[in-house]
Amino acid sequence: MKRAVVLLSGGLDSATTLAICREQDFEAHALSFRYGQRHAREIAAAEKIAHSLGAKEHRIAEIDLRLFAGSALTSDLPVPKGRATKEMAAAIPTTYVPARNTVFLAYALAYAESLGAADIFIGANAVDYSGYPDCRPEFLRAFEQLANLATRAGVEGTRYKIHAPLLQMTKAEIIQRGHSLGVDFSLTHSCYDPTPDGLACGECDSCQLRRQGFRAAGLEDPIAYLMNLRDKLGIFALTKEEQRTIAFVVLMFALGLAVKHYRVTHQATGPAQEHAKVEMPAAKAHPP
C-alpha cells in the first residue's frame, strides 16, 4: 500500500481530504500543527478525526508562528465577524497567517521524504475563497515543483505530487462528499474564535462558510454555536463583556429613575415646608 502524508487541521475540509485519501487506498499519515493558534481546540478534533478515519499514524508538530506578527489567529487582534461573503473575498483577511501553508507543506514534504512517500494531501479550496493566497492552484503547482527540485528523493527520481481534491469544490460539495464517505462532522472544529470551552461563535468567516455550506448541502450541522445558544438562553449565554455592558446600562437607567424620583419628591414637599414655617417673634432683651 502506498503511503501519503495528509495535512489535518481538525476542520471539515481536512477531514474530508483524509477520507478521500483513505478511499484511494493510501496508508494515511496525518500531520497537524500546534502553532500558537487561538483556536487550539482543533488539535483535539484532529486527533479524533485521525482515529475515526483510520489514519495509520497521527503526528503533531510544535512550532510557534506567534513569532511573526500580523494575524488575528495568533495574536490579540480581533477576529472579523458578521461579514458578507463578498466582503470576505474582497481582501486578504486579518486571519491570514503569514506563509502558513508554505510552512505546513514544507513539514509535510520532510515527513513524506522520511517515510518514502511521494504523495501529500492538503484540503485547500479555491472556490469558497476567503482571501488566502496560499490556497490558490498556482501556489500548489509551484510547491509541487519545489518539492521535486529541493529534495534528495526528488533529485534521485521520486516524483512528488501535491493532492488538493477539494480545490474546485464548493463548501456544500465538500460536505456532501465527506458525508458520502462517512465523515463524522460532529468531530470537526472550524471556528476561529471559540469560547474557552470550545463552543463555536457562529459569526467568524469560517463559521459562516461552514453554516452556509451545510444549508446548501441540505444537511444539518451537528455542532452547536454560541449565537444559537444566546437565542435560547438570553443573557446567561452572553460573554462577560456583554454582561458588563448590559449591567452598566441598567445601572445608569436605575440611577436616572432615582434622580427623577428625588426631583419630583423635592418639588412636591418644598412649598409645603415653606408654608409650615412659623414666624417667631424676636426675643426681647431683659435688663439685668
Could you read off the pLDDT of 138-154 as tens digits, one per residue?
999 999 999 999 999 99
Report the interhelical angle of 100-115 vs 137-149 (nearest 10°): 40
For residues 165 and 123, what is the distance between their CA atoms, to the nearest angstrom?
7
DSSP 161: E
At 32, give phi and psi (nearest 5°): -120, 165
Grid cell listed for 233: 438562553
Q: Which pLDDT value is given to residue 255?
A: 84
pLDDT of 44: 96
Percent of the chain surpassing pLDDT 70 = 85
Sign of the CA dihedral running 274, 280, 281, 286: negative
Q: What is the mean pLDDT of residues 19-43?
A: 96
Q: Are 95 and 192 in contact (CB under 8 A)?
A: yes
Q: Name the more confident of 38 and 274.
A: 38
Query: What is the pLDDT, as a whole number, of residue 276?
Result: 47
d(CA 251, CA 71): 37
- Please give the pLDDT value at position 158: 95
Task: Kindly list the domain boundaries of the chain, sorted by start residue.
Answer: 3-189
Burial 181-210 (b: 16+ CB within 10 A, else e): eebebebbbbbbbbeeebbbbbbbbbbbbb
pLDDT (tens digit per residue) in 46-78 = 999 999 999 999 999 999 999 987 899 999 899
Asked if residue 32 lies in contact with residue 9, where contact means CB atoms within 8 angstroms, the answer is yes
> What is the C-alpha R_g of the chain?
31
Global pTM value: 0.79
In CATH, the architecture of 3-189 is 3-Layer(aba) Sandwich (3.40)
Asked if the model's pLDDT at residue 27 lies above 80, the reply is yes
pLDDT at 128 > cutoff 90: no
Cell of 242: 456583554
Query: In this predicted model, which residue has the larger pLDDT, 254 or 2?
Result: 2
